[in-house]
Amino acid sequence: MTLSCFTSREQRFAEEGEMAESRCSSRVRLMAFLALLFALFSTGDSVAQVPLLMWSSDGLPALASTAAGHITSKEQLAAYLSSAFKSGPHTVLLFLQDKLSKDDFTVFGGVFGNKQDGAFGNLEAALHSSSSVMFPALEWLDSSAIPALLQEKLGVSPLLVDADTLPHLSINTSASNLLIINLPYCTSFGKSCKEVLHDNDGIIGKVLSVMKDKNVLYTAIYTGLKPSRVISEASLSVHPAGRSLLQAVVPEVKPPIMFNVSGNPCVMLWAQNLNISLTGETAWIDLAAQVPSLTGSTCNSSNSLLVLTYSSGYILSNTLLLISSFAMSQRFYPVSARNWFTLDSVQLQANGQTSSFTGSRNIYAPAEYSFHCQSVTSFRDILLVANKTNPSPLWRLNFIDFQIQGFGLANGTNFSYASDCAGFFTPGIWMGLLTGLLFLWIFVYGLHMIMQLNTMDRFDDPKGPSISVPQSE
Amino acid sequence: MLLECMMNGHAILYTGVTLAFWSTILIVGLCYTIFDLGFRFDVAWFLTETSPFMWANLGIGLAISLSVVGAAWGIYITGSSILGGGVKAPRIKTKNLVSIIFCEAVAIYGIIMAIVISNMAENFSGTTPESIGARNYQAGYSMFGAGLTVGFSNLFCGICVGIVGSGAALADAQNGSLFVKILIVEIFGSAIGLFGVIVAILQVK
Last residue within a domain, chosen from A420, A441, A457 = A420
How far A451 CA sits from the closest chain B CA (Å)? 9
Residue A167 belongs to some domain of the structure = yes
Q: How confident is the model at residue B199 (pLDDT cuts 50, 70, 90)?
A: very high
Are A91 and A181 contacting, i.e. CB atoms less than 8 angstroms apart? no
C-alpha A127 chain-centroid distance = 46
Res A23: pLDDT: 52
Question: In whole angstroms, how far apart are CA B101 and each of A4, A98, B153, B161, B187?
Answer: 106, 120, 17, 10, 11
Secondary structure of A189-201 in HEC code, one letter for each residue: CCCCHHHHHHHHH
Whether residues A184 and A305 fall in one domain = no
Q: Do B39 and A338 touch (CB under 8 A)?
A: yes
Whether residues A59 and A205 fall in one domain = yes
Q: How confident is the model at residue B58 (pLDDT cuts 50, 70, 90)?
A: very high
pLDDT tens profile A268-307? 999 998 888 888 878 888 888 888 888 888 888 899 999 9
Record the pTM.
0.58
Res A10: pLDDT: 52
End-to-end C-alpha distance for chain A, whole angstroms = 101
Residue A457 belongs to some domain of the structure = no
Q: How many CB atoms lie within 10 A of CB A57?
A: 19
pLDDT value at A234 more than 70: no
Residue A429 belongs to some domain of the structure = no
pLDDT tens profile B26-39? 999 999 999 888 88
Whether residues A210 and A290 fall in one domain = no
How far B181 CA sits from the closest chain A CA (Å)? 31
Cβ of residue B46 closer than 8 Å to a chain A Cβ: yes
**For chains A and B, what is the number of CB pairs under 8 angstroms?**
32
Q: Which residues pair with A269 in a beta bridge?
A: A257, A404
pLDDT tens profile A158-188? 888 888 888 888 888 888 888 888 888 887 7
Residue A191 belongs to some domain of the structure = yes
For an interface test with A, the pick among B49, B88, B132 (most A C-beta atoms closer than 10 Å) comes out as B49
Whether residues A216 and A263 fall in one domain = no
Res B187: pLDDT: 92
Q: Do A435 and B54 touch (CB under 8 A)?
A: yes
Using an 8 Å CB-CB cutoff, list chain B residues near A367: none
Whether residues A350 and A396 fall in one domain = yes
Residue A466 belongs to some domain of the structure = no
pLDDT tens profile B99-128? 999 999 999 999 999 999 999 888 888 777
A218: left (phi over 0), alpha (psi -120 to 50) or beta: beta
Residue A231 belongs to some domain of the structure = no
Distance, CA of B69 to CA of A436 (rounded, Å): 19
Give the pLDDT mean for A56-81.
85
End-to-end C-alpha distance for chain B, whole angstroms = 59
Using an 8 Å CB-CB cutoff, list chain A residues near B35: none
Q: Is A432 helix (H, G, I), strand (E, B) or coil?
A: helix
Of B39, B46, B129, Cβ closest to residue A430? B46
Please, what sign has the CA dihedral across residues A449, A451, A453, A458? Answer: negative
Distance, CA of A99 to CA of A220 (rounded, Å): 17
From the number of C-beta atoms within 10 Å of its C-beta (0-12, 13-18, 19+), residue A332 rates as: exposed
How far A428 CA sits from the closest chain B CA (Å)? 7
Last residue within a domain, chosen from A401, A420, A439 = A420
Q: Give the mean pLDDT of chain A.
A: 81
Whether residues A274 and A201 fall in one domain = no
Distance, CA of A293 to CA of A312 (rounded, Å): 11
Query: From the DSSP assignment, how many helices (H) and strands (E) are in chain B?
Result: 9, 0
Using an 8 Å CB-CB cutoff, list chain A residues near B65: 442
Res A2: pLDDT: 45
Distance, CA of B91 to CA of B169 (rounded, Å): 10
How far A256 CA sits from the closest chain B CA (Å)? 25
Q: Give the mean pLDDT of chain B.
A: 90
Res A246: pLDDT: 74
Whether residues A356 and A264 fall in one domain = yes
Res A4: pLDDT: 47
Residue A380 belongs to some domain of the structure = yes
- The one-letter code for the residue type at A47 is V
Using an 8 Å CB-CB cutoff, list chain B residues near A366: 39
Q: What percent of chain A has pLDDT over 70?
A: 85
Q: Is A274 helix (H, G, I), strand (E, B) or coil?
A: strand
Whether residues A59 and A165 fall in one domain = yes
Closest CA to B63 of B176, B148, B185: B148
What is the domain-level CATH number for residue A321? 2.40.160.110
Whether residues A198 and A85 fall in one domain = yes
Last residue within a domain, chosen from A404, A420, A436 = A420
Q: Do A431 and B39 touch (CB under 8 A)?
A: no
pLDDT value at A224 more than 70: yes
Rg (C-alpha) for chain B, rounded Å, is 23
Whether residues A270 and A373 fall in one domain = yes
Range of the domain at A381: 257-420
Q: Is A469 helix (H, G, I), strand (E, B) or coil?
A: coil
Are A119 and A197 contacting, i.e. CB atoms less than 8 angstroms apart? yes
Q: How confident is the model at residue B68 (pLDDT cuts 50, 70, 90)?
A: very high
Q: Chain B residue with minimal CA distance to A382?
A: B128
Whether residues A72 and A219 fall in one domain = yes
Q: Do A336 and B130 touch (CB under 8 A)?
A: no
Cβ of residue B35 closer than 8 Å to a chain A Cβ: no
Whether residues A114 and A216 fall in one domain = yes
Domains in chain A, number? 2
Q: How confident is the model at residue B64 (pLDDT cuts 50, 70, 90)?
A: very high
